[in-house]
Amino acid sequence: MSDYDVLIAGGGVAGLSAALTSSRAGRRTHVLTGPALGGQLISIERIDGYPGFPDGVPGYDLCPIIQDQAAGVGAEFSAAEATALQADGERWRVTTGQGDVRARALVIATGTTLKTLGIPGEEQLRGKGVSHCASCDAPLLRNRIVGVIGGGDSALQEALTLAQHTARVIIFHRGTSFSAQAAYVQQVRDNPKIDVRFGTVVEEALGNGALTGVRTRNLSDGRTDQVELAGLFVYVGLAPATAWLGGVLALDASGRIPVDGAMRSSLPGLCAAGTVRAGSVGRAASAAGDGAAAALSIDRYLRDGTWGD
Ligand SMILES: Cc1cc2nc3c(=O)[nH]c(=O)nc-3n(C[C@H](O)[C@H](O)[C@H](O)COP(=O)(O)OP(=O)(O)OC[C@H]3O[C@@H](n4cnc5c(N)ncnc54)[C@H](O)[C@@H]3O)c2cc1C
């Protein structure tokens, strides 16, 4: 069985940043990247608000830079996915599809997955018009009409990306105003290719083998409508990837991991970083900061056994 000083579960910006800081501290560090090396950012065409990139930066450019930087100071990577966690004497043992891995300390940085709506047609038409990835699918939808569901940052940001490629974007939002940051709201308002339908829920994705449209319902008058669409992009919230932890750690009501200001969980040697932790503000820069803080807490713990103030 492989044995490390520090194991990091998650290869998003939080995990990559933790790997960089941990390896720089001289700790033998391994990253289980799971299904998506680079995490959510890898499929985002333009990451806004990340320090050092005033004009934004594509996620598929940024993540490999951080990975190379971490590998350059000794971090190791495997594409394995963590499926279970248990204490093993003074160490932590993580089960993966490629065998068990042990480490003196663990950073949990498994992030989040985009929630689904659970409406009829959604699963059957996934990859056939229903998608979570605007930058992947937008070039295939040139000059077509597409829908976006949601009213937060992700929904508006991806609607703006889609508007660059498609003929028209219709945003369906159950609320009566957006919760996204003001800059995105203004850009959406100013974009003549984007229409917004507030107070509207999508009840069914339509199509036989490929998406042809959606059935919607207006929440104020109950009227239903059918809208022809070639693509449907769903951004209705994020679910933390913590099911694999079993009952080892107590989670908050949303399924996220409570930590202190130094990213330490209630269990010695176990930190959480990025959007999987309770209280994350959900931005790439804060996830990177969390990763660095977690790695430094663990370095201190491995040096003098200190856990907590
Ligand atoms: C559409 C969209 C647009 C966004 N735009 C911006 C933006 O412009 N600016 C910004 O600052 N932020 C943006 N964000 C938020 C940003 O993506 C997140 O803050 C950031 O990705 C969080 O990083 P993370 O490492 O915590 O988690 P994630 O990016 O979710 O990475 C999680 C990692 O864990 C791995 N993993 C999952 N389960 C397991 C497992 N069981 N075992 C091992 N590994 C596992 C995954 O493979 C992945 O590598 C956007 C998000 C979305 C959805």
Residue 274's alpha-carbon distances to 16, 72, 183, 267, 290, in angstroms, are 11, 22, 23, 18, 6
Report the separation in Å between the CA atom of 133 and the middle of ligand 1, taken as the mean of its atom positions: 13
Phi then psi for 92, rounded to 5 degrees? -110, 140
Mean pLDDT per block of 10 residues along the chain (309 residues) reads 95 98 98 95 89 93 95 97 96 96 98 95 95 87 96 95 96 97 96 98 97 97 97 96 94 96 97 97 95 98 90
Beta strands in the chain (DSSP E): 2-9, 29-32, 76-78, 82-88, 91-96, 99-108, 112-114, 130-131, 145-149, 168-173, 194-198, 200-206, 213-218, 224-228, 231-234, 238-240, 270-272
Kindly list the protein residues whose Cβ atom lies closer than 6 A to any atom of ligand 1.
9-15, 32-37, 39-41, 44, 47-50, 81-82, 109-112, 154, 157-158, 241, 244, 274-275, 282-285, 287
Report the separation in Å between the CA atom of 279 and the middle of ligand 1, taken as the mean of its atom positions: 15
204: Cα within 13 Å, side-chain hemisphere: 9
| 127: Cβ contacts below 8 Å, ≥ 6 apart | none
For position 119, what pLDDT does the model report? 97
Residue position matching structure tokens 């499929």: 43
Q: What is the 3-state secondary structure (H, E, C) of 103-141?
A: EEEEEECCCEEECCCCCCCCCCCECCCEECCHHHHHHHH
Type of residue found at 20: L
Probe ligand 1: pick from 40, 95, 153, 283, max atoms within 8 Å of CB?
Answer: 40
Report the separation in Å between the CA atom of 111 and the middle of ligand 1, taken as the mean of its atom positions: 5
Decide: helix, strand or coil at residue 159: helix
For position 203, what pLDDT does the model report? 98
For position 309, what pLDDT does the model report? 73
For position 172, what pLDDT does the model report? 98
For position 43, what pLDDT does the model report? 84
Probe ligand 1: pick from 44, 114, 245, max atoms within 8 Å of CB?
Answer: 44
For position 45, what pLDDT does the model report? 84
Q: Which of 118, 267, 131, 137 is nearest to 202 (CA)?
A: 118
